[in-house]
Amino acid sequence: MVEKKPALTVIDGDGIANPRWLDLPKIIRARSPFDPNRQCLYRIAREDCVKAARARRRQPVFEFWSILNGEPPPVPNVERYGRASAVMGLVRLTAAHACFRGIRRPFAEDDSGANILAYVLKPTQFYRYEPNLACVAQKQNVPEDVVFVAYVRMDEPCEGERIDIKGVLTHWGFVEADSANLPLPVDHASRYDERLW
């Protein structure tokens, strides 16, 4: 009698848990694109952050923590001067002062980029990844001539007043500010389809 071997199964994961600074939350709160006085929730493209970090691009994750989530990146010694000074000057996505719809370029399955939202923030400070034995997160001032833009891909077309808005925060970064209107991105009138608020 031939002994039957057990079937092989695929195990997802590499067996090593991500460090705390890569353990981004699953959702983030933002101002509704249809009513800035209401809030909505978006999922976060966490896997993209992990892939970027593994490719030694750690700065996007540090920007998420300090500009979109409003807290220092959870790395050792980041609060060495105290919690109050560690969070001073940081903002959250809910502090966005402008929201645009349509990025006028293809994005994923959206051939025109019409269902992409762009939230604009003007942070004063952020944490930068800087290899150092004491702490890899260094707090820095944001230059006056840039704004921070976070992009959300809507799961369904951006139409109507909906309470259950759903989408994914996909990417973010600094953009040159408009010299005539510093709180907005350069060429914002031609960069986006419309300003929602």
Q: Which two tokens stand for residue 147?
A: 């704004």
Closest CA to 51 of 28, 22, 89: 22
Q: Are 127 and 62 a contacting pair, CB within 8 Å?
A: yes
Smallest Cα–Cα separation from 150: which of 69, 34, 47? 69
Distance CA 15, CA 85 (A): 36
Q: What percent of the chain has pLDDT over 70?
A: 85
**Which is higher by pLDDT, 152 or 19?**
152
Of these ranges, 8-17, 47-56, 71-80, 186-195, the one predicted with the greatest mean pLDDT is 186-195
* pLDDT higher than threshold 80 for residue 9: no
Residue 140 has pLDDT above 80, yes or no: yes
Percent of the chain with pLDDT over 90: 50
Sequence letter at residue 76: P
Q: Quote the CA–CA distance of 139 and 79 in Å, as a whole number.
A: 11
| Average pLDDT in the chain | 86
- pLDDT at residue 187, as a whole number: 92
pLDDT of residue 111: 79
Predicted TM-score of the model (pTM): 0.83
User: How distant, in Å, are the alpha carbons of 54, 121, 128, 144 from that of 125?
Assistant: 25, 12, 10, 11
Quote the CA–CA distance of 66 and 56 in Å, as a whole number.
19
Least confident of 58-72, 122-136, 153-167: 153-167
pLDDT band for 163, please (50, 70, 90 cuts). low
* Structural domain spans, the chain: 25-195
The residues that bridge with 99 in the sheet, in sequence order, are 119
**Average pLDDT value for residue range 16-31:** 86
